[in-house]
């Protein structure tokens, strides 16, 4: 792995460049990042759920992995602001890398966060990065 990616992961940072961010998310130990990471496949099944997200959301990996991201794990994101952006990106085959302010409401009091939504045609997974 590239030394720059190792350094970013060790310092808990996710690169701002889309391709570098995807490379880090797919190749680094995402538990070392200081943000929540949810990675899901083309069918919407969660394949990556890091420790910071598990701790903040109060959901264990065992409960989340293999479940549908927008139906079972984060139904509060099953809307045009989040889920529809991933669907539109996949349909158009145009990369998606956008940050939005969002309020999480499921299983918790309303909590303001910043979400980074990442999808590229080459990536194995789509990613929701949660900045708390």
Q: How confident is the model at residue 3 (pLDDT cuts 50, 70, 90)?
A: very low
- Per-residue pLDDT, 115: 98
> Stretch 16-23: mean pLDDT, rounded?
95
Q: Phi/psi class of residue 84: alpha, beta or left (left: φ > 0; alpha: ψ in -120 to 50)?
A: alpha
Is the pTM above the cut of 0.85?
yes
- The fold of 34-131 is Beta-Lactamase (3.30.450)
The domain ranges of the chain are: 34-131
Share of the chain above pLDDT 90, in %: 85
State pLDDT tens for residues 54-108. Answer: 999 999 999 999 999 999 999 999 999 999 999 999 999 999 999 999 999 877 7
68 close to 80: Cβ distance less than 8 angstroms? no
The pLDDT of residue 4 is above 60? no
């Amino acid at each position: 792995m590239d030394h720059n990616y190792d350094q970013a992961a060790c310092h808990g940072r996710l690169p701002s460049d889309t391709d570098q961010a995807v490379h880090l998310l797919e190749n680094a130990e995402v538990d070392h990042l200081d943000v929540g990471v949810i990675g899901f496949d083309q069918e919407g099944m969660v394949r990556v759920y890091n420790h910071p997200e598990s701790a903040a959301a109060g959901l264990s990996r065992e409960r989340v992995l293999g479940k549908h991201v927008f139906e079972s794990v984060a139904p509060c994101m099953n809307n045009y602001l989040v889920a529809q952006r991933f669907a539109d990106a996949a349909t158009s085959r145009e990369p998606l890398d956008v940050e939005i302010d969002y309020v999480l409401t499921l299983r918790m009091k309303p909590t303001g966060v910043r979400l980074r939504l990442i999808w590229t045609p080459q990536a194995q997974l789509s990613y929701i990065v949660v900045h708390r």
